Amino acid sequence: MLKISNLNMLFNRGSVNEVHALRDVDLHLPPGDFVTIIGSNGAGKSTLLNTVAGVFPISGGSIFIDGQNVTDWPEYRRASLVGRVFQDPLLGTASSMTIEQNLTLAAKRGHRRGLRRGVTPHVRERFREALAQFGLGLENRLDVRVRLLSGGQRQTLTLLMATLAAPKILLLDEHTAALDPATAHRIVNLTNEIIGRTHLTTLMVTHNMRQALEMGTRTLMMHEGQILFDFSGQERADLTVARLLEMFAEVRQQELTDDRLLLAE
């Protein structure tokens, strides 16, 4: 479903500020794979997601999504293939538009938008059914402006919007980090529920190492633009947060001091 080969990403190439954000990254996700990604700040985690989404052109390598070579495709052209949820709940929605209008845009992502009426009674009922599963009463607030929702409600809506058009790849970029613990826990449960039901191929960046080991089917650890570890199966099941930190220190020959990466709950 996702195949990344020899991926390199350089910022400010040729200048004194050159940064090699990704170094010869190879990654293959079969359909339905749910991969969590951890690493210290500047490890290249979000850059990896940005390259998959097409936010900026890569410096080298190739990216295939669902068998299509999207390496040179701009972000808008990949929109029908990629769904994304950001850390900031404000980024995934249009605050001045209603819940219904936001969902309508999400449903049409990657497709031509004509002058026909955007929302039919059938489509509106589909939106209500989709929102009802979250138990927040949003199905009865379709005409409410999104700016009036709480952060947790907006992130819930963003998660639905990212998956509504059945993308091939779902990208989650620390999508619970800005939420309070109770709301974050609810979003984690919703994430597991949606991915479990839809079997979406997923890449999820997190600083919560326990979350990284408990969610999904596979865990990657990145550092300085490279994938250091790729755990799955029984090897991953046997891992603990403490052992993961030990392995990181052994390979890098240094202690891990990033407090955010040490989070266990």
Q: For residue range 5-56, what is the model confidence (pLDDT) as tens digits? A: 999 999 988 788 888 999 999 999 999 999 999 988 888 999 999 999 999 9
Percent of the chain with pLDDT strictly greater than 70: 91
Quick one: pLDDT at residue 112?
A: 56
Question: Mean per-residue pLDDT for 120-130?
Answer: 89
Quick one: pLDDT at residue 265?
A: 42
pTM given for the model: 0.89
pLDDT, tens only, 128-178: 998 998 888 899 999 999 999 998 899 999 999 999 888 999 999 999 988
Instruction: Report how far residue 75's alpha carbon sits from residue 197's, in angstroms, rounded to the nearest whole number.
Output: 27
**Which of 147, 150, 152 is closest to 184 using CA atoms?**
152
pLDDT-derived band of residue 259, with 50, 70 and 90 as boundaries? very low
End-to-end CA distance of the chain: 31
Q: Count of CB atoms within 10 A of residue 245's CB?
A: 16
